[in-house]
Amino acid sequence: FGTVSLSQVLMDIEGISPLDFLDAEARSSGFVNLHFTDTTKNPTKGYQYNNISSDTTISSLRESIEKKTQLTDEEIELSIQNSLVPLNCEKSLSEFMRDGSILIELSVVRKKEAVPMTIPIIVHNRIATSSVEFSLKSTATFTELLSEISTRITVPIDNFDLLTVKGSKLTSVSFQTEFVLPKDNEKITLFAIKKAHQKAQEYSSGTISPSEGQIVLVPNKTSEPVANGPQNRTIVSDYWTRKSDTGFVGLSNQGATCYMNSLIQTLYMTPEFRSALYSWCWEEKLEKEIAKLNFKTEEEKKKKIEEIEEKSIPRQLQKLFARLQLSDQRAIKTKGLTKSFGWSDADSFTQHDVQELCRVLFDALEQAFKGTAQADLVNQLYQGEMKDYVRCKECEYESSRSDYFLDIPLVIRGFGAEKPISSVEEALEKFVQPELLDGDNKYFCEKCNKRVEASKGLKFAKFPYFLTLQLKRFDFDYDKMERIKLDDRVEFPIELDMNNYLAQECLSHSQQNNCPQYTYELYSILIHRGSSMAGHYYAYIKSFDNNKFYEFNDSTVSEISMQDIEKTFGDPPDKKAWHMRSSANAYMLMYRRVDPEKNKNIISDEDIPNELKMSIIEKNQSSLRKKEESKKEKDMIQLKIFYNGNDRTLSLHNKTTIEEATKAAAELFEISHQFERSCYQLRNFQIYYEIPQDSLAGKEDQTLSSLNYYSPKSLMLETRAPDQEFLENRTGYVSIRKLDPETLKFTSIAYACVDHNTRLIDLKNIIEEKLKIPVEKQRLVAEQYPPETRTREVTGDEKLLQYDLSIEEGTKIYVEESKSPESELKVVAEIKRLKNSITISYNIPPETKQNNKLLVDKTITLEKFRGMLQPLVGLSHDDFKIFRGVHQHKTELSSDNEALKDLYIHDNCPIFIEKGRAMKSGEVRISVQLFEPFKQDDKTDYLKDLFEVIIDENTSVPSFKEILAEKLKAEKNIEVSATHIRLRDMISKTPNTIYHAQSSIKDNFKWKYGDKVVALQILSEPEPLITANTVTPFLQKWNPDKYTADEKFELTLSKDMPLSDLKAELSTISGIPSENIGLARGQGWLTPSALEIPNLVWDRPNYYSNGPSPISMSPLYLRDSELLLFRDNTLPLKELTTEERNALRKKEASSRRFIFVFQFFCDVA
């Protein structure tokens, strides 16, 4: 122990003075210890200075204090032992010693006089964020503050909403977006932020805290001019819901769809593309589709039309563009478009390559536009032509083949290159630079009839109207065997002359006379920020309407400068330190050819299809109405009024006065005709202990908002007889409830105030007076909460309530009139019933809203609860399902013998009821899907929903297969033996563990909660014996010499099989000698891209060796449903031509139908 701590302990035990333990020598020597705190900087941090002479005067410390605080004696004063003294005080420290203690507390505080305060004012306008600063004295009123802001920004303050900031920057989320501008001379709360502390500071109209703060002003649309200073009204900021000041609308990010948003915004800002898309006739397309079908009812036809529209990519893109043009929201959703892609929610959380998306989207549009005027739209706008040629050096004979391109991939750092290219022009030069074929690589010239030296390369024959350049920033490091991103600096021009890169024989006569035809202007930069493994896409796009560039970053759209564009070039070579490098750089560039006759700059609202335009305008009006209703709801306050043990809810406007609220509460409980107005009032109510607080008498003219009331607010309606008084405004109240002997319900409630002198007999006398129960017949039960709920009978009339009976403020007293003190207490049973009573909201099918209420005992079983619901919902006992929660978060309840409280059903818990067969205890509901892993035509349709099965969770797997075989025959007309069925657990549409014969259904579920999904696979032969010691992967042979993969197949193996035996098995199947077999693990079960397979890890040294390690252990870790590829290591890898590579890419993109693989290294030029 330290000296003081030990002395304190002894003083507490023996009453010994701490002075007896102080160092007598230290006291007599005349030294003190000083604890110094500078509250102007940090009120919680102090410094200890020991052995300072007690004769030191305050004034002699002045210089040291001013130097340490950087403040003068005009600004600060000292607090010594909680007494304020000026810095020039001549008293010595010894005069401030107390009780002989040598420790003195000294604090520096600001004077209460005027101290200038600098408040940064940030004004967010249409173009940029600007700020002005000025000094404001701490005595300034709030009115003067607003006036000063208006003067400085030269705009009426009422044109802005005030929000909070962090530091000196506008934050995306404010701490308070709604508050009241007060009347003068009223205490208010201004939500500002300290630079050093991120919490709201309280101000009053009399003074403003001298702490440095910040205020943000954001333009609003609904403000009205202020006539005489600030009015008492609520401002609701719509900053995050209204349209951006730039006039453009953002796109919401569904999870990881930033790459798609960037591309969609680029296409939208392309006038020629948008105009062509608007001119595509949806009705004509729909009529052709409908004409092929027959419908029995109009409802069936309507549903089919909706389904066709949902799956139509150009229609959804058309609707999205129209909403981007007409919407008044800050950002709109892209759910309709991604749904037309065939995406699931999981796909929206997977990021892909934006260039890959562009190719696949164009391919899908071409398919949809067939047979229409827009059939050749993509080719007309984006397709160029190049030639792959070989020219003989001797006879100049040239052999060439034409090919078409939608984009030009530009290599930033070629294979083996020491340094990257520095500009787009340099990359284009390298792209068309021919390669010399000499030596062993000579070319056989048919004209010369011999092998000769030749030049081989690419040359451009025609450039498209829109030129797309892809900077190949994603590469593969073969030394480290990992994906990398190149952040090197690559400059690109605003205007690009492509005439120099056109083949000479393709130049027109006008071009040969120096009249450029292929001059391009930059209009879109797609930017990637991040690494090779993860990142974020956004775009800088030019508006052809005003020639300004804007940043389209998901929901946010803002104007940018040319300096911002230059920052996307990348890092210069001298930036080597990782912490200095920028990962945000240009990835795709889009240029438009300069052609005044063809260029479009503006797309008017008249270009939008009329039916689509009217639909969006109607939705905008509906959205505006909802906003207005929402604004009205925000102005409403929900008051929970308690009266005589009952409570009801009252919804009032926040400008309602207390007088109006009091009368409304009286009408709510229908007591206004029973009592004079002077005999009832409202007062605050403590809802946890259910006791009254301060009365609102004298505040009748004040509004709910001026009292800082917000939803939900609890108030108590209090009544009195004309000859009685209202309850006093004091603490210490307990609530008293009377049990009615006839109904056994609590019918009356009263309140009594207790203190440390109150005895039990005093409380009984109050009860006799208020509830008319004689003292001798009263039996009292007390209920207390902290630290735990306790219910007990209290006796002993002379005992003190607080000290003897532990009855304090908030205790609930229940009183029962009883003839004998030995009779059974009925009040305890009613208390227990009240404690277990909960209110449940539920729906009645087919309605989905939980508008119905039911009071139930939370201790009853689910079976009994179902019986209570059965007559209410009008369905038989087993024909409806009960869910806890709503929508996608609901969980079906099936444990009939469990109590509601054990099923986590609490007060005000929503219960969702749905028609259908109810589960019983021990049963499980399973969604069965048909799994076709070898289907080659469409990788998105390997799963199809079959049916739902409710079955006992202890059912064995063989028995489950028998049941499924019967249902397949009965419901799907598929006849199959149970021995030909294979079952897999499915997690997020991915095949997982295979069910083995010795297990039950519940043994195979990895997750206790959530949807249970089983994949059913129909086999051509009886399923081999699957046990806990077997593993069944997918295997696939890769042919590197052909660049093809054979069909996948499954093989059931022992988990203990050595790797050498696996290779021997594969040798028997494929004919490849086991010593030549190479292995590579796939990612999941789907076959990777043909262009990606060569880059998988094949036979890493010491990785897939022929050792004794079993295949289920390190290093292979083979699992059910995973893909293992094998090849003949002696076969060379085929070298693909540009045409073959493009054909492979196009084939794979088409087959995936928007299931993308994020490829970083698949297309090396």
Active site positions, annotated: 258, 536
Q: Could you give the count of Cα atoms lying within 13 Å of 868 in the half-sphere of its Cβ?
A: 16
Q: How far apart are CA 298 and CA 106, in angstroms?
A: 87
Classify residue 1068 as exposed, middle or buried by CB count within 10 Å of its CB (0-12, 13-18, 19+). Answer: exposed
**697 is written with which tokens?**
């008498």
**Which among 790, 519, 635 has a CA at the least distance from the CA of 233?**
635
**1050 is written with which tokens?**
């499954």
Residue at 308: amino acid letter = I
Could you write out the three-class secondary structure of 474-495? EEEECCCCEEEECCECCECCCE
Length of the chain: 1165
Give the three-state DSSP class for 237.
coil
Q: How far apart are CA 612 and CA 318, in angstroms?
A: 9
Classify residue 893 as exposed, middle or buried by CB count within 10 Å of its CB (0-12, 13-18, 19+). Answer: buried
**550 is written with which tokens?**
């804007």
Residue pair 308/292 in contact (Cβ under 8 Å)? The answer is no
Q: How far apart are CA 676 and CA 678, in angstroms?
A: 5
**424 is written with which tokens?**
């787009």
**1 is written with which tokens?**
């122990």
Q: How far apart are CA 961 and CA 983, in angstroms?
A: 8
Pairing of strands 450-452, 548-553: unpaired
Contacts of 870 (CB under 8 A, 6+ apart): 876, 877, 880
**Which among 878, 876, 751, 863 has a CA at the least distance from the CA of 809?**
751
Q: How far apart are CA 987 and CA 945, in angstroms?
A: 15
**Which among 205, 172, 31, 185 has a CA at the least distance from the CA of 104?**
31
**113 is written with which tokens?**
């006089």
Classify residue 263 as exposed, middle or buried by CB count within 10 Å of its CB (0-12, 13-18, 19+). Answer: buried
Give the bridge partners for 638, in sequence order: 651
Cβ density class 43-77: b for 16+ within 10 Å, e for less: eeeeeeeeebebebebeebbeebbeebebeeebbb
Q: How far apart are CA 900 and CA 862, in angstroms?
A: 6
φ, ψ of residue 564 in degrees (nearest 5): -65, -40
Between vectors from CA 1057 to CA 1055 and to CA 1062, what angle results, nearest 5°?
A: 115
Classify residue 632 as exposed, middle or buried by CB count within 10 Å of its CB (0-12, 13-18, 19+). Answer: exposed
Residue at 923: amino acid letter = E
Task: Find where tokens 């190149």 sit.
Answer: 486
Q: Long-range contacts made by residues 1071-1075, C-beta under 8 angstroms, separation at least 24? A: 1072/1126, 1072/1127, 1072/1128
Q: How far apart are CA 312 and CA 340, in angstroms?
A: 6
Give the bridge partners for 190, in sequence order: none
φ, ψ of residue 603 in degrees (nearest 5): -115, 115
Q: How far apart are CA 565 and CA 560, in angstroms?
A: 8
Task: Find where tokens 């536009």 sit.
Answer: 369
Q: How far apart are CA 995 and CA 1120, in angstroms?
A: 10
Q: How far apart are CA 314 and CA 316, in angstroms?
A: 6
